[in-house]
Amino acid sequence: MKILFASDIHGSAYYCRKLLAAYEESKAERLVLLGDLLYHGPRNDLPQEYAPKEVIAMLNERKNEIYAVRGNCEAEVDQMVLEFPVLADYFILSEGRVNFFATHGHLFNATALPPLKQGDVLIHGHSHVLCAKKMGYYYLLNPGSVSLPKEGNPPTYAIYEDGCFAIWDFEGNKITEINLLEDKT
C-alpha cells in the first residue's frame, strides 16, 4: 500500500491544496495526517493563506481516505467540524512487515518513547523538522511541516511504499529517503 504522511497544515488553505494535489498525483491509497490541522497556534505566525474553513472543506471531501491523530493545537471543536476522527493521541498502522506508531510528537517522541519493538517506526510531526533515521532498534520519521517548516527546511510531506519512506517537497524534489526493511530479513 502507498501511504502519504503529512503534518502541521496549521490552517493554510494554500498548502492544503498543494498537499492534496501531491496526494492525488502520488496515487496513494491513504492520507495520514499527524496533527495540527486547522489552528496556527500561539507560537507560530499565520501561515500563507490562513483559512481554516477552507481546509475543513478540503479535508472533509476526503474523509474516507484519512487517518489522523490529535496535535497539540487540536481541540474538541475541531472534531465538531471535521468528518473524520482527529482526537486520538496515536494509532498503530501495520503495513506488511512495518509497524508504525503514528502520533503528533508532543506526547510521544525520541525522548518520550512509546512501546516499540526491534524495527518498529515512530512517526510524528510537531517539531516541523523533517527526519528519517534509524535510532538503534527503531526508526524515527518526521515528514516535516506542510506549511510552517523550521530549521531551513522547505514545506514537505512523505510517501511510504514497499518499505521505502521518502520525504518530498512540493516542487517534486526528494529530500531524503530510508529503507525500513533493511533489518527485517
Model confidence pLDDT, tens digit, residues 55-114? 999 999 999 999 999 999 999 999 999 999 999 999 999 998 899 999 999 999 999 999
User: Average pLDDT for residues 10-30, to the nearest whole number?
Assistant: 98
What's the pLDDT at 63? 98
* Percentage of residues in the chain having pLDDT higher than 70: 98
Average pLDDT, the chain: 96
Given a cut of 60, whether residue 3 has pLDDT beyond it is yes
Cα end-to-end span (Å), the chain:
19
- The reply to whether 72 falls in a domain is yes
Q: Where are the beta strands (DSSP E) in 109-182?
A: 121-123, 131-135, 138-142, 156-161, 164-169, 174-179
pLDDT category of residue 43 using cuts at 50, 70 and 90 = confident
- The reply to whether 49 falls in a domain is yes
What's the pLDDT at 184? 56
Q: Taking the CB of residue 133, how many other CB atoms lie within 10 A of it?
A: 11
**Residue 163 maps to which CATH number?**
3.60.21.10
Given a cut of 90, whether residue 183 has pLDDT beyond it is no
Q: How many domains is the chain partitioned into structurally?
A: 1
- The reply to whether 8 falls in a domain is yes
- The reply to whether 184 falls in a domain is no
The domain in which residue 18 lies consists of 3-179
Instruction: List pLDDT tens digits, range 148-168.
Output: 999 999 999 999 999 999 999
pLDDT category of residue 40 using cuts at 50, 70 and 90 = confident
